[in-house]
């Protein structure tokens, strides 16, 4: 069961089809595993369809979206009925059969990366897989822009908590963190970055120009 979810605005943008392809993929992978968010998107989809039919007679404020979403949140999670694209086929199509056997590039210490931006032609965001070796830790860093991440395998922890498989996290330039891999598997994440990460440790800061 995932504990870290996309926010309401991201789900609305997903439902409206406004997200970039890699960003939408992160949400779709999460939805496959999260009945709570699936239920919210299901309702947003229905609402969107009604609005399309009734336009321009009905105008919907953001406050109305919020009240609808809070009504959904009070329902039991099992109510979700949306069938999303099978997660494994979406990932396999993108990455092949074994995510652990990709041509990973060792970055710093326990961190390996693989830039897969070129698999999303025609969009401007950088798309990166990151692997933190089991039991390993990443250097302290902030993020120059917004980074949307989903955990594909294993788990990591930072000062905000533990992020397990299919958990969703958005980080920005206010978030300095030092993630560590927890559990016995390598932790692999998929991230969509609007700008590169910025290392903040005293030594690793010197290496910044060499990181992405
Ligand atoms: Zn969720």
Give CATH for domain 8-73: 1.10.10.1320
Residues of each domain in the chain carrying CATH 2.60.120.10? 95-210
Give the Å distance between the CA of 142 and the centre of ligand 1.
24
Strands, E assignment, 68-165: 105-108, 111-115, 126-132, 141-143, 147-153, 155-158, 161-163
Give the Å distance between the CA of 144 and the centre of ligand 1.
25
Q: Rounded to whole angstroms, how far apart are CA atoms 116 and 197? A: 16
Residues of each domain in the chain carrying CATH 1.10.10.1320? 8-73
Q: Rounded to whole angstroms, how far apart are CA atoms 194 and 148? A: 9
Q: Which two tokens stand for residue 111?
A: 């961190």
CATH C-level class of 95-210: mainly beta
- pLDDT for the residue 22: 92
Q: What is the pLDDT of residues 53-104, one digit of tens each?
A: 766 555 556 676 677 667 666 655 544 444 445 566 778 888 888 888 899 9
Q: Rounded to whole angstroms, how far apart are CA atoms 196 and 128? A: 10
Give the Å distance between the CA of 119 and the centre of ligand 1.
26
Dihedrals phi, psi of 43, to nearest 5 degrees: -70, -40
Q: What is the pLDDT of residues 165-192, one digit of tens each?
A: 999 999 887 888 889 999 999 999 999 9
pLDDT above 70 coverage of the chain, percent:
75
CA angle 100, 106, 185 (to 5 degrees): 40
Give the Å distance between the CA of 35 and the centre of ligand 1.
7
Whether residue 124 contacts residue 181, with contact meaning beta carbons closer than 8 Å, is answered with: no
Q: What is the pLDDT of residues 105-144, one digit of tens each?
A: 998 889 999 999 999 988 888 999 999 999 999 888 777 7
């Amino acid at each position: 069961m995932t504990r870290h979810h996309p926010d309401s605005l991201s789900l609305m943008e997903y439902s409206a089809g406004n997200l970039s392809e890699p960003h939408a993929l992160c949400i779709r992978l999460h939805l496959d595993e999260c009945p709570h968010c699936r239920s919210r998107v299901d309702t947003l989809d229905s609402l969107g369809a009604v609005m399309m039919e009734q336009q321009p007679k009905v105008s919907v404020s953001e406050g109305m979206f919020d009240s609808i979403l809070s009504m959904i949140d009070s329902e039991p999670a099992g109510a979700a009925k949306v069938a999303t694209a099978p997660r494994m086929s979406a990932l396999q199509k993108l990455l092949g059969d074994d995510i652990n056997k990709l041509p990973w590039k060792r970055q710093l210490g326990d961190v390996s990366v693989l830039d897969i931006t070129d698999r999303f032609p025609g969009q401007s965001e950088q798309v990166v897989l990151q692997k933190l070796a089991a039991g390993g830790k990443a250097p302290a860093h902030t993020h120059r822009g917004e980074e949307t991440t989903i955990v594909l395998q294993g788990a990591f922890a930072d000062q905000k908590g533990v992020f397990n498989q299919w958990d969703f996290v958005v980080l920005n330039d206010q978030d300095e963190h030092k993630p560590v891999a927890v559990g016995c598997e390598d932790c692999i994440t998929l991230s969509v970055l609007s700008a590169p990460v910025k290392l903040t440790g005293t030594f690793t800061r010197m290496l910044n120009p060499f990181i992405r």
